[in-house]
Structure 1
Amino acid sequence: MTACLRDPRSDRLSLLGVYLNDHLAGATLGTELARRMAKAERHAATAQELRRLAAEIAEDRASLLDIMRALGVRPRRYKAGAGWLAEKAGRLKGNRQLVRRSPLSSLLELEMLRIGVEGKALGWRALREVADGHERLDKRRLDGLLDRARDQGATLERLHLQRVAHALPAS
């Protein structure tokens, strides 16, 4: 019986590719969701904030693709497509409204986007943690992406609390 000799570093690089492509799927979903939320928002100030967030989230997705390219990781279209499709499927919520948006739609979408931003921040943290072993990972860029994710999370938290007051009863 011969032992299967595998290069542990090669296995880890393969896993890094899977990991980054999974984050690409999430980034695709988040980009689509943020854009749709910005278009659907009726309050001008909130719509402006959501447009800014949508632009930043799209930039973060582009940064992820840049990082993947730098590391030699091929984007898997089917994973990005799955993220796109998941966002479209997420529109089908049982929110007791058929032809117009329910106040619950915005609340749940803010929660979903907040979860996505936290997941993105975890991804940036993970890359920052392994940056010493990858000369192609720019620590300062990752720090900036992580800072922006924290700012996005704070903005989404504030918008979420505002939306709670409109969507859910106080008593």
Structure 2
Amino acid sequence: MSLTAADIMEPDVETVTESEEVGDVLTKLARKHYSGFPVVDDETGRLVGIVTRTDLVDIFQPSDRTLWIPIGLPPFLESMEYGFDLSWGGLDAELDLARNAGKPISAVMTEDVVTVREDATLDELLDVLAGDDPDINRVPVVDSGGFVQGLVTRQDVLRALRDERRA
């Protein structure tokens, strides 16, 4: 008997809705110690995206506060660019949080979500979780209507492989 997504998924999945605010989702992540949530449509409950810690950390990146200055004087043929960080450390993070906390999670979520059905084999799960995209650490399991039935993480697949080898 081959294992399927239904056999190894976590069926009790906490989701967030697309209109929930970034600040509220950050609080949920901190309290639950999760690394992300499937995002569902406010009205239908169907999967519309996924939000991870990485998505939320990206809104606090100081790339817009880095000043790049080309430096090069003759006899140099090519100039070099030096980056100067113009951020103010903690104050910038607080300002970013204040500016972004009220935004809907749909503004930062990933919309192109890789999903599987409950009958997906262990090999299909491995193809997704060990594939070319290193950012995929979890895959929502959805039914034909797009409703979340569960969630499979890399850890779940590793445990299943370990248990299968021991059997």
TM range (shorter): under 0.3
Larger relative contact order (Cα-Cα within 8 Å, sequence gap ≥ 6): 2
Higher gyration radius (CA): 2
TM-score normalised to the size of structure 1? Answer: 0.27
More helix by share: 1
